[in-house]
Amino acid sequence: MPSNPEWVKALKPSGPQGSELLAQERAKSDLNVDQLAEFMFTKEVLQRNERILNILLAEPVFDKSQNYFRGRNARIEAALARGKRLQQLQVQHNWSKDEFETANSLISEPTPYGLHASMFLVTLREQGTPEQHKLFLEKAEAYKIIGCYAQTELGHGSNVRGLETTATWNADDKTFTIHSPTLTASKWWIGSLGKTANHAVVMAQLFIAGKNYGPHPFVVPIRDLKTHEPLPNVHVGDIGPKFGYNTMDNGFLLFKNVKIPHINMLARFSSIEPKTNKYVRPSNPSLIYGTLTYIRSHIVLQSGSVLARGVTIATRYCAVRRQFQDRDAPATETGENQVLNYTMVQVRLLPLLAATYALHFTGRGMIALYNQNQQRMNSTAAPESRRAPGPEELNAGTDLLADLHATSCALKALASTTAAEGLEVCRRACGGHGYSSFSGIGSWYADYLPTVTWEGDNYMLTQQVSRYLLKSARAVLKGNAGDNDTTRILSEFIRRRDIGAAFDVIGNDEDLVAAFAWRVSFLTFEALRHRDEDKQSWNSLLVDFWRLSTAHAQYMVVKNFHEALNDPDTKKSVEPNTITLLHKLFRLYALNTLEKEASEFYSSAAVTVRQITLARTKAVMTLLEEIRPHALRLVDAWKFPDWQLDSSLGRYDGKVYEDMFHRASELNPLNSVVFDPYPDSKVLFKKDERQNLRSKL
Amino acid sequence: MPSNPEWVKALKPSGPQGSELLAQERAKSDLNVDQLAEFMFTKEVLQRNERILNILLAEPVFDKSQNYFRGRNARIEAALARGKRLQQLQVQHNWSKDEFETANSLISEPTPYGLHASMFLVTLREQGTPEQHKLFLEKAEAYKIIGCYAQTELGHGSNVRGLETTATWNADDKTFTIHSPTLTASKWWIGSLGKTANHAVVMAQLFIAGKNYGPHPFVVPIRDLKTHEPLPNVHVGDIGPKFGYNTMDNGFLLFKNVKIPHINMLARFSSIEPKTNKYVRPSNPSLIYGTLTYIRSHIVLQSGSVLARGVTIATRYCAVRRQFQDRDAPATETGENQVLNYTMVQVRLLPLLAATYALHFTGRGMIALYNQNQQRMNSTAAPESRRAPGPEELNAGTDLLADLHATSCALKALASTTAAEGLEVCRRACGGHGYSSFSGIGSWYADYLPTVTWEGDNYMLTQQVSRYLLKSARAVLKGNAGDNDTTRILSEFIRRRDIGAAFDVIGNDEDLVAAFAWRVSFLTFEALRHRDEDKQSWNSLLVDFWRLSTAHAQYMVVKNFHEALNDPDTKKSVEPNTITLLHKLFRLYALNTLEKEASEFYSSAAVTVRQITLARTKAVMTLLEEIRPHALRLVDAWKFPDWQLDSSLGRYDGKVYEDMFHRASELNPLNSVVFDPYPDSKVLFKKDERQNLRSKL
């Protein structure tokens, strides 16, 4: 790599230096960053992060300095090497699941083992019999076999019932034939399948004597354990480059009448009795949606931290970057103004900062509720079933579980959309430099984007939420509703709707939360009227359902954030000025959301036009001004190490320009090439001193 | 590359085939596609596109089949080869500027010559003297010297006055010394600078005898014409990978006291008299913003077509993709429903389809207005000055020019934001496959994103628009306003505001346009009151200004679209049913916008809550249903050749799945590698048959 000449090395950014500006920012606020961080994550977790970080930093394979320069081939090659080393370290240090996840989160890129370590092992564990555990799970845990979970097909995403791959029971030799009858039956998007896996759990339509019993899971060997070449009549490969997630080998998979033995159908919940050739029904199918609720709750919790990375980077850079003078500044002031001082920047960034905390506390609330519910279920019910069902398989369980399920759907959709779109807002708030890969936001955003589609497409999920809310509303009207928060707010609306609402959204926090609840209830009964009285088609109501689900999720976020702040535990854990500040973030999130969704709040008569105008022009603007001095410490409390962010703009020390320049000038392999610039010349390069593009790992 | 086994080649997608579905779609509508296309683009342009396409298709260097697989190094290498060939073809065919641009648009990626061919040549031409034309321009036009336009610096974007690079006049030897005093003075983001240019037009602060005369343009040699190595005391290189635009070598540039002769200061408008060492003032500085208005008008026009690419791809794919059954469908129907039939998909895509037409007609209107104005100016004024000024350099010229300028700022911001964000909506509307590079939307979106920042950052521009509107409002109140559309709508508001508005937005199109005008006027006088009466600081009003500018731009789009439909020329050019359909698109765009911005329409009392509710639940939903059958033909009328779209999902013939599979399985170089999947093995690959990653061009 080229090195800068001496005279360039001697150059500094014009003053004040980024490091000075960030030091000033930190001095402006009295927020106790460490205390807040411990309250959010616990001391143990923060210490664990640091311990694992030090292990990774000592390993050359995890060096990130060439990440942004590599093309897909080189990136996935590096990711494979990292995945291997990570597994060695896991064995060596005997890492727990949490420790292993911490390492992955610090590395911040998917590895080709990602789906082996998660869905393949989980599915074998939860859907396999003890005999199958011995046969498959033990080898998989030891990485003697590497697998993936193959459900989605080229022509079939969310609709699991539409899968085309078949598994036909052969009564004569007691085997299954796995077959892909069409091109659209090709498995597609399957993580770790493209190049890495030698086994797949394949979801296929089970046929017995010509009758279809629906999708079931089968363990199918797909590559030779020694040569790693595809087995006969298996066509498998990588599906090619994507908008992000390019360190993962998402794959395709086709079968031409491949036979597997009886034991390869995962048989904990349903199976075939080989002597009689009879299908044995799944036990307790109503319990199956625990796992999805759990996964979605984690997406909600994670979304706060996903977004916080972008907010951290943008906030730090906007405190370092200066542009123009304040128009009303006295003529004696000559310096340029920090970009973070402009209200147009604040109004984009600070509500997102508020959202990171709102989502964090909401996710925490969701997971607490999930755990409570699991305990209750475990004490009364059969062992939990944990396979991943399609959205159509979901039926109401107990009242609380159904409520939890609907809430997790609504929140997953809102939280992941908020995080994804918020990251792009953060990137743009960095101006031109946000477009550089060195901002660290673009690739993070691109890698996160699938979350809005997987584990339930965000738009599809809103139908499930609305179905639940309509059902609850019918129950409330009939007077046979169970007791949970949803039925409480719906009942309260019915009780008061003729009296009318008069919420003091600007002066009173309980009223602010109640206004969000009122809007949900109003929209629910509106939708119910359209469906049940006006007999509108389901399809014609999808837009209303999406609005309704969003409203419900926003209410849950506002409510959870409010409850977290009033929790006695919070008061014990952090200083009063921290609570005051978090409280401002709560109000900013709620009032900013209310203002953005003004039209629904009006039409439901939850607020007046005057209140909205006040929220916009006074309350929100005042909150921005009050939160501004604490912005830097509030992002510091998320405690992202620089190595994790891998961002020139988001450096803790503010040395933004030095870092940009170093990466461009000294790490950039393109600068080892000399172009021939003349259109008529026969060569492209006059000189090419790039190392072989293949990284040496 | 691997080839599919025979049994895979024999597979087809499950029926109905994509080709059948698209044929059905096209049969459903009687829209005359060719006639509409000719009306939009003219027959000559459509024929030109086809002619140039055929020339490009015959050249192997323009083969796109490996584009999505290449990393940055290989991509920029291919782009250099293409840029060279393109220049050869231009000479060979003696292409006009329009023909050359057509070729670039069909290739759809920036080449490393991009900034040479545009800003470098334009600046030399417009700011050079005849002597300088001879010295620099002639060689540049013959590609004997290759250049770029170096304005932006590492620490300085929009604020041109803040540039740090200096050009100091040396009275003794009649030279300039170009110098970078700090690291932040490094030129940054400069297109074609990183690897290609051997000259740069450098914007630098001109110092004469210690006095700063502000930024001026200097021609500076930066690389050796033979070896292409940087000249002494010049540090230059590529700034590294970006979110998109990676076929362009955006560069950095630092100088250590580099001397250039007197002739290298571009001297058409201002210069130094070498004998007296005196600065000669620029002639007629008030004329300078013609070029920027022109560029912005073109961004507006282009935005429609930029967005239309995404809408074309998503609409075609959503007509091919089927998922779930309609919930209310009779049980006898077993097939899955086309995704485009779901209202939740329609409400995302069809307003964007409407926006493509709205932006097209608005851009056309803008350019017609610009041309009118130029003619008027040319007949009365001095030769037009065409250098690119910074936003702070802009002063009001004639009334019409100022109005045109403000409108172009407002529309540039709205149009490019609409296109960029709309493309991402299109990508997500494609579900999981939208994330594949083969969708063709992701890379197009990523390459387009800089448009929201360059030629005036979209947020910064809104201040200029508001400044103009406030000034106009003050003039209206004082009774000394000029005559243009803005002062007309402001005056009308003043006349009627005590009487009140009662616009029939759902029943009457003129009223619909008038409601948009009313909202702009209301927001203008609100902002004026805050600034002039309440003496609020400029900074505290930035958010209001941004809203105001957006409202103004939306009004202009609605007005232009409406005028285009009522133009007698339109009625002569297309059949009545086409006008009826375009009219529905107009109403969809306007009512959908009105509903999204409901809160401002309420507060201005332009509409009632009841009207908004009707717009949302009735009018918009009805329009979606009416436009739906024509959606495919409406995107066909944009006439994008498949080669230009380079999208599996957007193929004209609907062979989506075949194309996805072909690219993944047969074109994907990663499938020529066999991983070693075991964490403990010493090697990464068991086999590697990839061709050398360096493409053979």
The pLDDT tens digits of the residues spanning B579-593 come to: 999 999 999 999 999
The C-alpha of A11 sits at a distance from chain B's nearest C-alpha, in angstroms, of: 5
Residues 6 or more apart from A579 whose CB is under 8 A from it?
A565, A570, A571
- Do B234 and B296 lie in one domain? The reply is no
Q: Are residues A221 and A302 in the same domain?
A: no
Note whether A252 contacts B664, CB cutoff 8 Å: yes
Q: Is B191 on the interface with A (CB under 8 A)?
A: no
Min Cα distance B128 → chain A (Å) is 23
Q: Chain A neighbours among B 592-651 (CB < 8 Å)? A: 595, 598-599, 602-603, 609, 612-613, 617, 621
- In this complex, the residue of A154, A323, A599 whose CB is nearest that of residue B661 is A154
pLDDT tens digits for A317-327? 999 999 888 77
Give the domain extent around B146: 117-283
Domain-embedded: residue A75:
no
Q: Is the pLDDT of residue A160 over 90?
A: no
Instruction: Tell me: do A206 and A316 sit in the same domain.
Output: no
Q: Residue A324: its chain B contacts at CB < 8 A?
A: 158-159, 162
Q: Among residues of chain A, what percentage have pLDDT more than 70?
A: 94
- Band (pLDDT 50/70/90 cuts) for residue B292 is confident
**Mean pLDDT, to the nearest integer, of B1-12?**
88
- Write out pLDDT tens, residues B34-71: 999 999 999 999 999 999 999 999 999 999 999 999 99
- Lowest mean per-residue pLDDT among A516-525, B247-256, B478-487: B478-487
Mutation pick from B166, B187, B233, B675 vs chain A, by most beta carbons of A within 10 Å, is B675
Q: Does B542 touch chain A (CB under 8 A)?
A: yes
Residue B17: closest C-alpha in chain A: A184
Q: What is the pLDDT of residue A396?
A: 36
A residues 356-395 closer than 8 Å to B (CB)? none
**Residues A462 and A611 reside in one and the same domain:** yes
How far is B633 from B34, CA to CA, in rounded Å? 10
Between residues B392 and B465, which one has the greater pLDDT? B465
User: Over 80: is that where the pLDDT of A341 sits?
Assistant: yes
Q: Are residues A547 and A480 in the same domain?
A: yes
The predicted model gives A540-559 an average pLDDT of 97
Closest-CA distance, A572 to chain B, in angstroms, reads 37
Of all residues in chain B, what percent carry a pLDDT higher than 70?
A: 94
> According to the model, what pLDDT value does residue B385 have?
44
Contacts with B68 from chain A: Cβ below 8 Å: 240-241
Which band of pLDDT confidence, cut at 50, 70 and 90, is reported for residue A690? confident
String of DSSP letters for B559-582: HHHHHHHH-HHHHHHS-HHHHHHH
Integer-rounded Cα Rg, in Å, for chain A is 28
CA distance A536 to A442: 42
Tell me which chain B residues have a C-beta less than 8 angstroms from the C-beta of A68.
Answer: 240-241
Q: What does the pLDDT average to over B519-528?
A: 97
Is A77 a member of any domain? Answer: no
pLDDT tens, position by position, A370-397: 888 878 776 654 444 444 433 333 333 4
pLDDT at A695: 38
Residues 434-493 of B with CB under 8 A from A: 435-438, 442, 449-450, 452-454, 457, 459
Query: Looking at chain A, which residue has its C-alpha nearest residue B164?
Result: A14
Per the CB < 8 A criterion, the answer to whether A389 and A289 are in contact is yes
With cut-offs at 50, 70 and 90, classify the pLDDT of residue A158. confident
Given A181, A322, A543, which is nearest B347 (Cβ)? A543
Residue with tokens 């029926």: B15
- pLDDT, residue A32, reads 98
3 state SS for B196-254 = CCCEEEEEEEEEECCEEEEEEEEEEECECCCCCCECCCEEEEECCCECCCCCCCCEEEE
B475 falls within a domain: yes
Catalytic residue among A25, A164, A455, A600: A455
Same domain, residue pair A239 and A307? no
B398: confidence class by pLDDT, cuts 50, 70, 90:
low
User: A residues 641-660 near B, CB within 8 Å?
Assistant: 657-658, 660
pLDDT mean over A12-22: 94
Residue A381's pLDDT is: 46
Mean pLDDT across chain B? 92
Q: How confident is the model at residue A426 (pLDDT cuts 50, 70, 90)?
A: very high
- Residues whose CB falls within 8 Å of the CB of residue B167, separated by 6 or more in sequence, listed in order: B176, B177, B178, B179, B202, B204, B205, B206, B207, B216, B218, B265
The larger pLDDT score, comparing residue A89 to residue B499, is at A89
Q: Are A606 and A515 in contact (CB under 8 A)?
A: yes
**B72: nearest CA partner in chain A:** A71
The pLDDT assigned to B502 comes to 87
Both structure tokens of A3: 């090195």
Q: Give the per-residue pLDDT at A188.
A: 97
The total domain count for chain B is 2
**The last residue of a domain, from among A604, A636, A668:** A636
Looking at residue A394, what is its pLDDT? 38
Q: Tell me the residues of chain A between 214 and 233 that have a Cβ less than 8 Å away from chain B.
A: 227-229, 233
Q: Taking Cα atoms as reference points, which of B464, B449, B419 lies closest to residue B292?
A: B464
Tell me the residue type at A620: V
Nearest residue, CB atoms, B69 vs list A12, A240, A667: A240
CATH of the domain at B220: 2.40.110.10
| Same domain (yes/no): A162, A211 | yes
**Pairing mode, strands A166-170 and A199-208:** parallel
In this prediction, residues B605-612 reach a mean pLDDT of 90
Inter-chain Cβ pairs, chain A and chain B, closer than 8 A: 391
CATH number at B525 reads: 1.20.140.10
pTM equals 0.94
pLDDT band, very low/low/confident/very high, at A237 (cuts 50, 70, 90): very high
- Do B509 and B620 belong to one domain? yes
- Binned at pLDDT 50, 70 and 90, residue A283 comes out as low
What does the pLDDT read at residue A374? 79
What's the token pair of residue B263?
């002739």
Distances from the Cα of B265 to the Cα of A409, B116, B175, angstroms: 64, 18, 10
Q: With a CB-CB cutoff of 8 Å, which residues 327-346 of chain A face chain B?
A: 327-328, 336, 341-344
Confidence at A289, pLDDT banded by 50, 70, 90: low
Q: Are residues B115 and A677 in contact, defined by beta-carbon separation less than 8 angstroms? A: no
The span from the CA of A589 to the CA of A534, in Å, is 36
Residue of A nearest to B543 (CA): A344
Residue A11 maps to a domain: no
Contacts of B599 in chain A (CB under 8 A): 595, 598-599, 602, 612
Confirm or reject contact between A92 and chain B (CB < 8 A). no
Cβ distance A238 to B664 less than 8 Å, yes or no, reads: yes
Mutation target among A86, A349, A543, A672 for the B interface, most CBs of B within 10 A: A543
> Between A77, A240, A438, which is nearest B68 by CB?
A240
pLDDT at A1: 60
Selected residue of A59, A73, A426 to mutate for chain B interface (largest B Cβ count, 10 A) = A73
| Residues B179-229: tens digit of each pLDDT | 999 999 999 999 999 999 999 999 999 999 999 999 999 999 999 999 999
- Please determine, for residue A465, whether its predicted confidence score (pLDDT) is greater than 60: yes
* Higher local confidence (pLDDT), A285 or B342: B342
Whether the CB of B2 is below 8 Å from some CB of chain A: the reply is yes
Is the pLDDT reported for residue B230 higher than 60?
yes
> In whole angstroms, what is the distance from residue A7 CA to residue A571 CA?
55
Tokens of A172: 């004569």
| Residues annotated within a binding site of A | 152, 191
A467-480 pLDDT, tens digit each:
999 999 999 999 98
Distance CA A132, CA A263 (A): 7
The reply, when asked if residue B152 is annotated as ligand binding, is yes
Task: Name residues 11-50 of chain A within 8 A of B (Cβ).
Answer: 11-14
Q: Average pLDDT, stretch B217-244? A: 96
Which pLDDT score is estimated for B288? Answer: 52
* Candidate from A675-689, B232-246, B296-310, B455-469 with smallest mean pLDDT: A675-689
Lowest mean pLDDT among A75-84, A621-630, A643-652, B385-394: B385-394
Length of chain B: 697
Asked if A676 and B228 come within 8 Å (Cβ–Cβ), the reply is: yes
> Is a pLDDT exceeding 90 seen at residue B99?
yes
- Determine the pLDDT at residue A402: 85
Nearest chain B residue (CA) to A668: B240
Instruction: Mark whether A365 and A490 lie in a shared domain.
Output: yes
Contacts of A294 (CB under 8 A, 6+ apart): A370
The token pair at B49 is 């596109």
pLDDT band at B395 (very low <50, low <70, confident <90, very high): very low
Q: Is residue B19 part of a domain?
A: no
- Identify the closest residue of chain A to B681 by CA–CA distance: A84
pLDDT at site A372: 86
Task: Determine the residue of chain A that is closest to B347 in CA distance.
Answer: A543
Q: Do B185 and A14 touch (CB under 8 A)?
A: yes
**Residues A309, A229: one domain?**
no
Any known ligand binding at B191? Answer: yes
Which candidate in A337, A423, A665 is best for mutational testing of the B interface (most B CBs within 10 A)? A665
Residue A518, CA atoms < 13 Å, CB-side half-sphere? 26
Within-domain flag for A364: yes
Q: Does A311 lie in the same domain as A162? A: no
Q: What are the chain A neighbours of B592 within 8 Å (beta carbons)?
A: none
Domain check: are B510 and B479 in the same one? yes
pLDDT of residue A406: 93
Rg (CA), chain B: 28
Contact: B432, A182; criterion CB under 8 Å: no
The pLDDT of residue B481: 87
Q: What is the pLDDT of residue A537?
A: 95
B550 belongs to a structural domain: yes
- Would you call B664 and A237 a contact, using CB atoms and an 8 Å cutoff? yes
The more confidently predicted of residues B399 and B10 is B10
For B253, list phi and psi in degrees, rounded to 5.
-160, 125
In a domain, A369, yes or no: yes
* Binding region of A for FAD: 152, 191
pLDDT of residue A290: 64
Q: Between these two residues, B103 and A384, which has the higher pLDDT value?
A: B103
Which residues 234-273 of chain B have a CB within 8 Å of chain A? Answer: 235, 237-245, 249, 252, 254, 256
Smallest CA–CA distance from A540 into chain B, residue? B343
Chain B residues inside the 8 Å CB shell of A156: 323
3-state SS track over A426-466: HHHHCHHHHHEHHHCCHHHHHHHHHHHCCCCCHHHHHHHHH
Residue B234 has pLDDT above 50, yes or no: yes
What's the pLDDT band for B500 if we cut at 50, 70, 90? Answer: confident
Q: What is the mean pLDDT of residues A538-564?
A: 97
Residue A92 pLDDT: 96
